[in-house]
A and B are shown apart, each in its own frame.
Chain A
Amino acid sequence: MADTTHGGPASGTRRDFMNLLVNSVAVFGAAAVAWPIISSLNPSQDVLALASTEVDLSQIEAGQSITVKWRGKPVFIRHRTPEEIKTAEGVDISSLRDPQPDGDRVEKPEWLIVVGVCTHLGCVPQGQKPSEPRGQFGGWFCPCHGSEYDTSGRIRRGPAPTNLEVPQYTFESDTLVKIG
């Protein structure tokens, strides 16, 4: 195509090769420029530096839940009662959509810490307050599309594909947890 009435037919392949080369280099350059542009849209250093939150658990009674903000999202911390722990541990794993034993989802059985964002489309499920619906499995109920989670935060019914996410956290002491 490059050869027109003005371009002679001579040295065609060599010219094609050179064209290919210079075009490849140009494309490489464009890609190299695209990288910083795309990368700039990722979380910045100050955002990353604020990625952890410390929470004092001493005031939370058994059966109570609190919501804390971590990376702009709600994190549910539930002080589970012995019955809730028992129910969560008693579930037949093979019947679950996203099979995971309760023990893998908690550090200490009485403290369940999950990200309070429905894995379907990102709504915040209800069930933190006693007055709110918790669904049939005693965990959380998402009002958007009816996903129901159990007392281990696992998906049991509804459209959500996976269990509520467990954030990375460590117990600094018996009553102080650092999320992130």
Chain B
Amino acid sequence: MSKGRILLGLTTIIVGLAAVAMVAANPVHHATVHSQSWSFTGFFGHFDHAQLRRGHQVYKDVCAGCHSMSLLAYRDLQDIGFTEDEVQALAAEVQVEDGPDDTGAMFERPGRASDRFKEPFPNEQAARAANNGAYPPDLSLIAKSRAGAGFLGYEGADYIHSLMVGYEEPPANVTLPEGMYYNHAFKGHQIAMPPPLSEDGVTYADGTQATLDQQAKDISAFLTWAAEGNLDERHRTGIKAVLFLVIFTLLAYAVKRRVWADVH
């Protein structure tokens, strides 16, 4: 096939991809998500552990009251720079149901590093009952499930950040039902979650000024780590794999050229 035709083929694909961007979206309920710059994007992107620890503090002090994080265990926190002792101390802050003991009864014991994050409600019904009928979703994978679709989609962290800072007074023509809040980042703009963050709502252990935006960024980064804790290792492995493959491909090309040199 000639170069011209390959070009035509590529153009076809590019036109097709570009077309994706041009579909008319429904403007009424369009959620606005603003992209931020994150330490974990890009080829060499990696998590900022200090930020993750701040984000964990926001989760623990603010979110954990309503939102479970059932896929994470306290031991996972060692990955973001907590020592083994600190993790054990964090785990021991909660009481975990265990058992049955020798008499057949369930009992409470202090949490261990191997325990999963304690859930705020025993089941969905209890969670709904305590939250005006709304179910606070589990946050383990929220950064992945709320990411924008496709290669050019926004990060899950972008969405969470936008949601955290997206509360505002409703426009004059909108009347909110009881217990609902106006948030321009939320689909439909009406959200049951009260604004969770406030200026200096938490006091950071590392002394960082806890502005609302700072907290929003930290919790977004933390939730990204919670959903995708292997990201650092993935990027590192990827760079090694690519270096290897580049060498392999160049060598294979050289050999191929040499082998084919005498073919006419």
Q: Which residues of A contact B (CB under 8 A)?
A: 2, 6-8, 10-11, 14-15, 18-19, 21-22, 25-26, 28-29, 32, 45-46, 49-50, 59
The interface residues of chain A, by DSSP majority, are classed as helix
A15 and B73: CB pair below 8 A?
no
Given contacts A8-B262, A15-B259, contact A22 B252 (CB under 8 A): yes
Given contacts A25-B247, A29-B244, A49-B75, contact A11 B258 (CB under 8 A): yes
Chain B: minimal CB distance from A90 (Å): 35
Chain B: minimal CB distance from A36 (Å): 9
The interface residues of chain B, by DSSP majority, are classed as helix
A-B pair count, CB < 8 Å, reads 43
User: How long is the Cα–Cα vector from A28 to B245 in the complex, in angstroms?
Assistant: 11
When distances are taken between beta carbons in the complex, the residues of chain B under 8 Å from A11 are 258
Does residue B180 face the partner (Cβ distance < 8 Å to A)?
no
- Residues of chain B in range 238-264 having any CB-CB distance to chain A below 8 Å: 244-245, 247-248, 251-252, 254-255, 258-259, 262-263
- Residues of chain B in range 180-205 having any CB-CB distance to chain A below 8 Å: none
Q: Which of A2, A21, A45 contacts B251 (CB 8 A)?
A: A21
Does residue B223 face the partner (Cβ distance < 8 Å to A)?
no
Q: Which residues of B contact A (CB under 8 A)?
A: 73, 75, 102, 113-114, 244-245, 247-248, 251-252, 254-255, 258-259, 262-263
When distances are taken between beta carbons in the complex, the residues of chain B under 8 Å from A2 are 259
Q: Which of A7, A15, A26, A49 contacts B114 (CB 8 A)?
A: A49
> Max chain B CB contacts within 10 Å: which of A7, A14, A50?
A7
Chain B: minimal CB distance from A51 (Å): 9
Given contacts A7-B259, A11-B258, A18-B258, contact A49 B244 (CB under 8 A): no
Q: Which of B114, B248, B258, B263 contacts A29 (CB 8 A)?
A: B248
Chain B: minimal CB distance from A9 (Å): 10
When distances are taken between beta carbons in the complex, the residues of chain A under 8 Å from B251 are 18, 21-22, 25
When distances are taken between beta carbons in the complex, the residues of chain A under 8 Å from B259 are 2, 7, 15
Some 26 contacts from A to B, beta carbons below 8 A apart, are A2-B259, A6-B262, A6-B263, A8-B262, A10-B262, A11-B258, A15-B258, A18-B251, A18-B255, A18-B258, A19-B255, A21-B255, A22-B251, A22-B252, A22-B255, A25-B248, A28-B244, A29-B244, A29-B248, A32-B244, A45-B75, A46-B114, A49-B73, A49-B113, A50-B114, A59-B102
> Lowest 3 A-B CB distances belong to which pairs?
A49-B114, A8-B262, A22-B251
User: How long is the Cα–Cα vector from A92 to B5 in the complex, in angstroms?
Assistant: 89
Given contacts A6-B263, A46-B114, A49-B75, contact A26 B248 (CB under 8 A): yes
When distances are taken between beta carbons in the complex, the residues of chain B under 8 Å from A8 are 262
When distances are taken between beta carbons in the complex, the residues of chain A under 8 Å from B73 are 46, 49
Chain B: minimal CB distance from A27 (Å): 11
Kindly list 16 other residue pairs between chains A and B, CB separation below 8 angstroms, not including A10-B262, A22-B255, A25-B244.
Answer: A11-B258, A15-B258, A18-B255, A18-B258, A21-B251, A22-B251, A22-B252, A22-B254, A25-B247, A25-B251, A26-B248, A29-B244, A32-B244, A46-B114, A49-B113, A59-B102
**Complex: chain A residue closest to B76, CB-CB:** A45
When distances are taken between beta carbons in the complex, the residues of chain A under 8 Å from B255 are 15, 18-19, 21-22
**Complex: chain B residue closest to A50, CB-CB:** B114
Chain A: minimal CB distance from B37 (Å): 31
